[in-house]
Amino acid sequence: MNRSPAVNVQTFINEHPFSPFQWLIFFMCFIIVLLDGFDTAAIGFIAPSLVTEWGIEKPALAPVLSAALFGLACGALGSGPLSDRLGRRSMLIGSVLLFGLACLASAFSTSIDQLTVLRFITGVGLGAAMPNAVTMMGEYCPDRRRATVINLMFCGFPLGAAFGGFLAAWMIPHLGWRSVLILGGVTPLLLLVLLLAKMPESVRYMVANNKPADRIRAALARISGDAVQAVGFTMTETAPQTGGKGLGVVLSRSYIVGSVMLWLAYFMGLVIFYASINWMPILLKDAGLTPQRATLISALFPLGGVGAVLAGVLMDRFNANRVIAACYALTAISVYFIGQAAGNVGALVLIVFIAGVLMNTAQSSMPALAAAFYPTAGRGTGVAWMLGVGRFGGIAGSFLVAELTRRHFSFGGIFTTIAAAGLLSCVALLIKQAARPQASEAGASKTQSFGH
């Protein structure tokens, strides 16, 4: 049989239609993101049941509610370098197994201390799974659709959060709070069966690490049968090469400024997100709204993730740094106006919803930006470290509002302070762009090919 010359894997993916095989990868990664959203929302719903069943004071819930956030950060920071050395597939499978078993075990906790430890372990698994899902999906996407597809995948998070909330509201009265954690543990274990059977290794990772050509050919053949004619495979990196791997790439001279700016932008975005979702109901109630109305208005804020799909389309067509920077700038403006609208319920509803759309659009677009910024040798670490460092912003956001209320800031003063975080995210992305003005997020001027 005649074989065709060596095939460039990214060119191959770019030139063929998005196949059912790639949609299957999308589905598996989407479910992982959805499970993260489910878990994030569900723990808040079971908290009142813990107070009742174990007879604990509300302040004692703080460790169990924050344990997963610390776990998420640790999981992301640790998994990135491992992903760039061991592969995306093995890290995805290992992390899904870890958070599935830990969540299932947490359903049988007998004390708040046990639950806290298991929530931390669950967070480690989720923190490792999320960036590897982004990296895997990004490396199977055509360049022209990468941001759109990754942002669409990230819509699973708000969907999972909403789904988790509705399910928990029904399950807890009928089946008890443990049933929510059982569901949260069994579902990823069922997904694990599909991952073991169908999830491939990243073709870009395989080429970059000189894996056997038969494995690369088998993966690409599931996109198109044209791959079976290839005698070998190459990969052209459009991002500058550093000669290192993992953290060595992320902290290298070529990438350090962009890396720090990505971390700062994502960190400040999560300051806004967690400060708002954790404190808005209390702040609105203190501003004179009824508890029910304060809760309903606050619930509008995390519903705005659907705007990420439109942002992905814009990122694929225009300068991605500037698109997301604009979203953060508009987020800052809208969050500021939340603080000015406390006396007008109609305006407050509209502004909170707009702020939520802008905030979630910007934040959900950041993983696609990071995935496009780094070369294959450092992509797993780059995405993971942005998500990991950013998780500390969620913790900081909650403590920030607590400190502002302790200092007796007004309603408007609190939201003005939170809004400043959006401006910092905007400035960070503009600095990232200025640091490499000739490089679009699709690539840079230097290229390097890997032969196999």
Rg (C-alpha) for the chain, rounded Å, is 22
pLDDT of residue 450: 42
Query: Which of 214, 236, 258 corresponds to the end of one domain?
Result: 236
On whether residue 445 sits in a domain, the answer given is: no
Residue 2 parent element (H or E): none
Q: Are residues 277 and 183 in the same domain?
A: no
Q: What gap in Å lies between CA 268 and CA 414, rounded to an integer?
A: 15
Task: For strands 448-451 and 233-237, give the pairing.
Answer: antiparallel
In a domain, 1, yes or no: no
186 and 64 both lie in a single domain: yes
Q: How far apart are CA 84 and CA 374, in angstroms?
A: 12
- Sign of the alpha-carbon dihedral angle for 13, 373, 161, 36: positive
444 within a domain of the structure (yes/no): no
446 within some domain = no
Strands (DSSP E) along 148-260, which ranges? 233-237
**What gap in Å lies between CA 267 and CA 394, rounded to an integer?**
7
Please tell me whether residue 230 adopts helix, strand or coil conformation.
strand
The angle, 0 to 180 degrees and rounded to 10, between the axes of the packed helices 345-373 and 411-435 is 20
Q: Are residues 192 and 112 in the same domain?
A: yes
Pair 310, 361: CB distance under 8 Å: yes
**Whole-number Å distance between alpha carbons of 293 and 317:** 40
Alpha helices in 55-176 (DSSP H): 62-86, 88-106, 112-138, 146-154, 156-175
* Torsion sign over Cα 49, 180, 88, 6: negative
Amino acid at position 83, single letter:
S
Whether residues 331 and 378 fall in one domain: yes
Report in angstroms the alpha-carbon separations of 111 from 39, 46, 58, 183, 237: 19, 14, 15, 20, 51
Name residues whose C-beta falls within 8 Å of residue 114's C-beta, 6 or more positions apart in sequence: 106
The string of DSSP codes covering 5-44 is --EEHHHHHHHS---HHHHHHHHHHHHHHHHHHHHHHHHH
Q: Which residue has the tokens 């056997």?
A: 212
**Residue 88 and residue 205 in contact, taking contact as beta carbons nearer than 8 Å:** yes
Alpha helices in 287-319 (DSSP H): 291-298, 307-317
- Number of structural domains (the chain) is 2
Among 191, 214, 236, the domain boundary falls at 236
| Angstrom distance (rounded) from CA 309 to CA 30 | 14
H or E stretch at 299: none
Distances, alpha carbon 204 to alpha carbons 80, 88, 217, 281, 303, in Å = 16, 10, 12, 46, 34
Neighbours of 247 (CB within 10 A): 18
Contact yes or no for 13/136 (Cβ under 8 A): no
d(CA 180, CA 166): 11
Kindly report the pTM of this predicted structure.
0.79
Q: What is the phi/psi pair of residue 234, to 5°?
A: -130, 170
Same domain, yes or no: 178 and 206: yes
Residues 217 and 316 in one domain: no
The pLDDT assigned to 444 comes to: 38
| Spatial contact of 258 and 434, defined as CB atoms under 8 Å apart | no
Is 124:112 a contact under the CB 8 Å cutoff? no
| CB-count exposure of residue 59 (10 Å: 0-12, 13-18, 19+) | exposed
209: amino acid identity, one letter: N
Residue pair 258/31 in contact by the 8 Å Cβ criterion: no
Q: Are residues 26 and 59 in the same domain?
A: yes
| pLDDT tens for each residue of the chain, 452 residues long | 455 577 888 888 888 899 999 999 999 999 998 998 888 777 767 777 887 788 877 667 777 877 888 888 898 888 888 888 888 899 999 999 999 999 999 999 988 889 999 999 999 999 899 888 988 998 898 888 888 888 888 888 877 877 776 787 788 888 988 998 999 999 999 999 999 999 999 888 888 888 888 888 888 888 988 878 777 888 776 666 666 677 888 888 888 999 999 999 999 999 998 888 777 777 887 788 776 677 677 777 776 666 777 888 888 888 989 999 999 999 999 999 998 887 788 888 899 889 988 988 898 889 888 888 888 888 888 888 998 888 888 888 878 887 888 888 888 899 999 999 999 999 999 999 998 754 444 433 344 444 44
Compute the Cα dihedral for 42, 48, 53, 59 and give only its sign.
positive
Residue that the structure tokens 């302790």 belong to = 406
Residue type, 97: L
352 and 269 in a common domain: yes
Based on the fold, state whether residues 161 and 227 are members of the same structural domain: yes
User: Which CATH number characterizes residue 343's domain?
Assistant: 1.20.1250.20
Here the tokens at position 281 are: 């109901």
pLDDT score recorded for residue 446? 40
| Domain enclosing residue 377, as ranges | 247-435
- pLDDT at position 4, please? 58
- Residue 182 belongs to a domain: yes
With CA atoms as reference, report the closest residue to 317 among 196, 405, 441. Answer: 441
Look at residues 228, 201, 214 and name the one whose alpha carbon lies nearest to residue 12: 228
Contact between 227 and 1 under an 8 Å Cβ cutoff? The reply is: no
Residue 92 placed within a domain: yes
